[in-house]
Amino acid sequence: MKIALGADHGGYLLKDALKKYLSDLGHEVEDLGTNGPGRVDYPDYARLVGEVVAAGRAERGVLVCGTGIGISIAANKIRGIRAALVSSVTTARLAAEHNNANVLCLGGRLIAEPLAAEIVQTWLDTDFESRHQPRLDKIAMLERPGER
C-alpha cells in the first residue's frame, strides 16, 4: 500500500520511526517532511499529505504533530479526508471499522513508538464495515454546503 507521511517538529521523530516500520513491512512510503527539529507549521504538512490522499496519489496518510490535535483539525478541512486522531489500538480499529479513516493522526509527544506502530498496524489491517457508509455520505455532504 502507498502511504504518505507528514509531521511538524513535534512529530517528526515518531514519523521517521513509522516510516522505517512501514517500509520494513513492504509498504511504499512517501515522506513529505518535516525532517528536522526546526519549528514549522503543522497545517502545511496536513495539506501536503491530505492533498496527496484526496487526489488518490496515496491510499492512506499518517500525520504526526505534538498532540495530533492541530494536524487532525487541519487535515479534516480537505475535501475527501477523514482524519482520525487516535491514541489506542481500540480507537485505531474503530477509526477503520466505523469511519473508514483515510488519514491517521498521532501525538508525537504523547505516544511511544511501539504503541504507535501497533496503532498504525491495526488501522491498516482493519476493514471498513459498510453498514456505516450512510454516515460517511452525510459527512461528505457537509463538504458541499450548497448541495444540502
The rounded distance, in Å, linking the Cα atoms of 121 and 126 is 9
Among positions 65, 92, 94, 120, the unique one binding ligand RB5 when judged by CB under 6 A: 65
Q: Is 33 in the site for ligand RB5 (CB under 6 A)?
A: no
What distance in Å separates the CA atoms of residue 125 and residue 141, rounded to the nearest whole number? 28
Does 69 bind ligand RB5 (CB under 6 A)? Our answer is yes
Write out the DSSP string of 42-97: HHHHHHHHHHHHHTTSSSEEEEEESSSHHHHHHHTTSTT--EEE--SHHHHHHHHH
Residue 123 to residue 92: CA distance in whole angstroms: 5
Catalytic pick among 27, 98, 105, 132: 98
98 in catalytic set? yes
Q: For ligand RB5, how many residues bind (rule: CB under 6 A)?
A: 8
Considering the candidates 9, 27, 65, 132, report the single residue annotated as catalytic: 65
Three-class secondary structure of residue 27 per DSSP:
coil
Nearer to ligand RB5, 10 or 124 (CB): 10
Q: Which is nearer to ligand RB5, 41 or 59 (CB)?
A: 41
Q: Which residues bind ligand RB5 (CB under 6 A)?
A: 8, 10, 42, 65-67, 69-70
The catalytic residue positions are 65, 98
